């Protein structure tokens, strides 16, 4: 049995940290050989929100006087929980002047949060007054409206999958403006995102399907020089589950080797890659990855175990 190891030094330096190459000292024959993962350690650091995924943009409105402006929020590439997205919303609202401070408390036109009871993402939009509430020390620089309203929040394609607001009748989700607090919501149903209104003019919505904030909780490690006729793609050697918190170390050491037949031939290198569930290459922020693999001959005994 033979052991090969890969680490930071084997990463292809393209900035994405998702490809590794192991080069043999010379071209070697690999005939009737089987390979298996022995151990793997890496940080849970692959991004779930990225511009290349086109899942990082949504919009909201603010009316000053009678002029309504639509603001676009573009999330920087990163690893986000729903609470992190909401914090960035607050950051952008402050930058845009679409907030106010009353008696030391910050107020924003909308927020998103996890509703664990309903296994959904909840959106709350708040009624914006026409004059500063009593005790307001920092009026919204964007200006107050002449008629009260709720922001229109829109979740376009790709971001709507993250928060679970899929289109109804091919129309993307947009919350109601509730001009002059006159909106009367229909009976809450899946098709209208279970919209509800309270006595203060707050509109609350629930995602109409399960949110997919972290689509790549399980990822694939692929390898050249193998061919699994039952796998798709046929180059998958193992799956990796991010069963730790963001930024913590994922450590794998299978209790038994899952042997995969290598394609017979002469090789000077082996190539490895990390892919998401959509079979697209991942962006991995932390390049400190360690992989140990074992290679054995076909006729070695106890192929199914260590």
Q: Of 170, 188, 206, which residue sits at a domain end?
A: 206
Phi then psi for 247, rounded to 5 degrees? Answer: 90, -5
60 and 182 inside one domain: yes
Query: Residue 175: how many CA atoms within 13 Å on its side-chain side?
Result: 34
Phi then psi for 124, rounded to 5 degrees? Answer: -115, 125
Q: Are 43 and 248 in contact (CB under 8 A)?
A: yes
DSSP E strand stretches across 97-141: 100-102, 105-107, 110-115, 120-125, 127-128, 136-138
CATH of the domain at 289: 2.60.120.1100
36 and 100 inside one domain: no
Q: Tell me which residue of 242, 267, 287, 282 sits closest to 35, measured CA to CA.
A: 267
Q: Of 175, 206, 237, which residue sits at a domain end?
A: 206
Residue 66 lies in a domain: yes
226 and 284 inside one domain: yes
229-277 pLDDT, tens digit per residue, is 887 788 999 999 988 888 899 999 998 899 999 999 999 999 999 999 8
Residue 302 lies in a domain: no
191 and 243 inside one domain: no
Q: What is the pLDDT of residue 301?
A: 59
245 and 271 inside one domain: yes
Q: Of 188, 206, 224, which residue sits at a domain end?
A: 206
106 and 198 inside one domain: yes
Give the residue ranges of the chain where pLDDT is below 50.
Answer: 305-306
CA distances to 107, 129, 139, 149, 174 from 103, rounded to whole Å, are 10, 16, 12, 22, 31
Domain range for 139 is 51-206
Residue 136 lies in a domain: yes
Number of residues that make up the chain: 306
Phi then psi for 84, rounded to 5 degrees? Answer: -70, -40
75 and 174 inside one domain: yes
Residue 154 lies in a domain: yes
Q: What is the pLDDT of residue 306?
A: 46
186 and 74 inside one domain: yes
Q: Are 153 and 123 in contact (CB under 8 A)?
A: yes
24 and 66 inside one domain: no
115 and 190 inside one domain: yes
115 and 171 inside one domain: yes
> Which pair of structure tokens corresponds to residue 272?
């490895």
Place of tokens 């799956």: 239
69 and 193 inside one domain: yes
Q: What is the pLDDT of residue 1?
A: 82
**For the chain, how many structural domains are there in total?**
2
Q: What is the pLDDT of residue 125?
A: 98
């Amino acid at each position: 049995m033979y052991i090969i190891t890969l680490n930071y030094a084997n990463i292809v330096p393209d900035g994405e940290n998702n490809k590794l190459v192991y080069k043999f000292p010379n071209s070697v024959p690999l005939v009737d050989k089987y390979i298996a993962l022995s151990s793997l350690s890496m940080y849970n650091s692959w991004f779930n929100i990225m511009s290349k995924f086109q899942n990082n943009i949504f919009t909201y409105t603010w009316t000053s006087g009678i002029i309504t402006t639509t603001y676009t929020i573009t999330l920087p590439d990163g690893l986000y929980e729903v609470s992190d997205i909401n914090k960035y919303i607050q950051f952008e609202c402050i930058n845009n002047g679409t907030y106010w401070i009353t008696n030391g408390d910050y107020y924003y036109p909308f927020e998103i949060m996890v509703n664990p009871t309903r296994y959904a993402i909840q959106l709350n939009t708040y009624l914006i007054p026409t004059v500063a509430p009593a005790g307001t020390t920092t009026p919204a620089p964007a200006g107050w409206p002449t008629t009260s309203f709720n922001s229109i929040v829109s979740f376009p394609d790709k971001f709507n999958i993250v928060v679970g607001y899929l289109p109804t009748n091919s129309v993307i989700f947009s919350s109601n403006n509730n001009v002059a607090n006159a909106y009367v919501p229909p009976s809450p149903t899946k098709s209208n995102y279970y919209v509800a209104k309270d006595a203060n003019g707050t509109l609350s919505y629930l995602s109409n399907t399960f949110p997919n904030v972290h689509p790549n909780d399980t990822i694939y490690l692929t390898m050249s020089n193998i061919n699994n006729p039952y796998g798709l793609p046929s180059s998958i050697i193992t799956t990796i589950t991010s069963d730790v918190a963001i930024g913590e170390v994922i450590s794998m050491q299978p209790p038994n080797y899952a042997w995969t037949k290598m394609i017979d031939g002469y090789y000077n290198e082996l190539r490895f890659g990390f892919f998401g569930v959509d079979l697209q290459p991942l962006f991995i922020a932390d390049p400190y990855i360690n992989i140990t693999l074992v290679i054995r001959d076909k006729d070695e005994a106890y192929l199914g175990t260590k």
